[in-house]
Amino acid sequence: MKIIPLCLLLITQALFAGHPLWDLYEQQLKSAKYVDLTHAFAPVQPVWPGFGEATFSATVAAKDMPGYIEKGQPFTISKQGFRATAYVLPSDQYGTQLDPPAHWNPVGATISDLPPTFAVRPLVVISIVDQLKDNAGYELTMNDVLAWEQEYGQIPEGAVVMVRSDWYQKWPDVAHFTDKPFPGVSLPALKFLHLERHILFHGHEPLDTDDSDDLEGEAWLMHHNFAQAEGVMNLDKVPEVGALVAIGYAKPLGGTGGFARYVAICPPDWPYGVTIEEAPGAPLPVSPEPLKRNVDGVLTPGGKPNLIE
């Protein structure tokens, strides 16, 4: 009974021989735990009140296509064999995001200027949850960073540093998520992380770097040509040290923000997340009921009979 596994092992070794990145996938990434750090963006969600909310709806035909569809009619599976969704987005500063310098800086890099090396990096998670018990507006300090290093070692150059506050748990409270005070990151901490530790960028759970009137942290970052992540989640389900982060984002030409997806890649023995074996991604799961658009235009299982496919 042990011959078959041995044969499979030998075949696998032969297939991946001489390809160290494939070896890395087979030996490490395949058994790692994956934790999503991203809110799905929706028509109703927290957003800076100056921008407003998005609109979701069925995509409609832009012109008459005789015998197929009339202008203004929605594409549906029952009639055209497919459907599509139209999104009217109030801003590229919406939901979990990646801010490039052009957001504030007149000569700063846009989202389409970011290099492909914004892909996979070491992930550092620094918690300020305990400090928030006495001060809801607490900001990460340089001493907090140094305390993390005292326990875990120096932050790797080029790492992504995420600041855990558990503020993401307030996300369903759309009306109050952006109320002040909220947790932030102090300007001295940002300067230390970028100028002394040379990180790639930092991330936080609220939708702003800090709640100062002039947003001094974000202003400094953007005008010194650094990016940042905003609106991240699930940092309470990620180790403080030893994980990686996969970084994905939309790439509109000349964009001042990127609708982003961050995924933490954690050690195999980490209690949270899923492995590739548990969620292989192909084939994907199916809905228990046909998907219909709800009143907000979002496809959901079931839905009301009068709502469109």
More confident residue, 139 or 14: 139
Residue 81 in any domain: the answer is no
pLDDT tens for each residue of 233-271: 999 999 999 999 999 999 999 999 999 999 999 999 999
- pLDDT computed for residue 302 by the predictor: 77
Residue 136 lies in a domain: yes
CATH number at residue 154: 3.50.30.50
pLDDT for res 2: 42
| CB-neighbour burial class of residue 87 (10 A; exposed 0-12, middle 13-18, buried 19+) | middle
Q: Among the ranges 47-51, 164-168, 300-304, which has the highest mean pLDDT value?
A: 164-168
Calculate mean pLDDT across residues 154-159: 98
The model's pTM is: 0.92
Classify residue 217: in a domain, yes or no: yes
Check residue 1 and give its pLDDT: 40
Long-range contacts of 187-196 (CB under 8 A, 24+ apart): 187/216, 187/217, 187/220, 188/141, 188/142, 189/139, 189/140, 189/141, 189/142, 189/144, 189/145, 190/217, 190/220, 190/221, 191/220, 192/142, 192/145, 193/145, 193/155, 193/161, 194/221, 194/224, 194/226
Please report the pLDDT score of residue 18 as a whole number. 81
Domain count, the chain: 1
Amino acid at 290: P
Position 1 in a domain: no
**What pLDDT score was predicted for residue 8?**
54
DSSP 150: H
Judge whether 194 lies within some domain.
yes
Q: What residues make up the domain containing 140?
A: 36-40+92-266
pLDDT per position as a tens digit, 104-113:
999 999 999 9
pLDDT of residue 3: 45
Q: What share of the chain in percent tops pLDDT 90?
A: 91
The answer on pLDDT for 12 being more than 50 is yes
The CA distances from residue 27 to 20, 31, 53, 200, in Å, are 10, 7, 44, 27
Mean pLDDT along residues 286-295? 92
Cβ neighbors of 215 (< 8 A, separation 6 or more) are 208, 209
- With bands split at pLDDT 50, 70 and 90, how would you rate the model's confidence at 20? very high
CA-based Rg of the chain, rounded to a whole angstrom? Answer: 22
Q: Indicate whether 166 belongs to any domain.
A: yes
pLDDT in tens, 55-92: 999 999 999 999 999 999 999 999 999 999 999 999 99
Residue 99 has pLDDT above 50, yes or no: yes
